Amino acid sequence: MDAPIREFFAKIDGLRDPEAVAKVLAELASERDYFEALVAPIDPDAMGGLPLHVPDQGPRMFLMHRPRGVMSYVHSHGTWAAVAPVRGVETHRRYEVVEEIAPGRARVIVADERRLEPGDSAVVVPPADIHSHGHVGGSDETPYTLIVTGDDQLKFARREYDAAAATFRELPPGDFGTLNLPTVS
């Protein structure tokens, strides 16, 4: 683990507030020179990512890139998560379930949408951890984003939502789910 990542985890050791973790994450993401070497080999036209710190338990960190016009599926984590872009503009949407219609059917709406640039961060905490993130299209530079989760999300039962169809599916532990929504222009 490189020094900036090691220092980040030393700073957040003992923090219990995900918002406080997100502030420290935004500081780390601002270290542009450090991250340029990590971003450089990632194909800007393809989805890519690097695990930066992946212990068996506890907070984990990844560097993630989604190409132009690609957003993640609407999903939950089952653990808190913080995001902070190191380059580009990350669109982060938090959703609320407004109606459980029937088993496997629910209406979700965007409760909050933010355009995150380097120096910004966003947090989701269960049960209000339903979200999507990525690039919505347009002329903004595609995002390369740090993601920190409170633990391995694959340990938890989660949900994946199709907001347009008003459906969801349960994701049992170990099921990562669908990565991306179709490309938008």
Domain range list for the chain = 3-171
**pLDDT of 101 over the 50 cut:** yes
Q: Which strand ranges, in their side-by-side order, compose the sheet holding 81-87?
A: 48-53, 60-65, 144-149, 81-87, 122-124
pTM of the model: 0.92
pLDDT of 184 reads: 54
| 104 pLDDT higher than 70 | yes
pLDDT exceeding 90 applies to what percent of the chain? 81
Look at residue 178 in the predicted model and tell me its pLDDT. Answer: 84
Q: Are 62 and 50 in contact (CB under 8 A)?
A: yes
78-102: average pLDDT: 94
What average pLDDT does the segment 112-120 reach? 95
3-state SS, residue 39: helix
Band the pLDDT of 139: cuts 50, 70, 90.
confident
Q: What is the pLDDT of residues 26-81, one digit of tens each?
A: 999 999 999 999 999 999 889 988 999 999 999 999 999 999 999 999 999 999 99
State yes or no: pLDDT of 185 exceeds 50. no
* pLDDT value, residue 146: 97
Superfamily of domain 3-171: Jelly Rolls (2.60.120.10)
Euclidean distance between CA atoms 57 and 176, whole angstroms: 17
Q: Is 45 exposed, middle or buried (0-12, 13-18, 19+ CB in 10 A)?
A: exposed
Task: Look at residue 182 in the predicted model and tell me its pLDDT.
Answer: 60
Band of pLDDT at residue 180, cut at 50, 70 and 90: confident
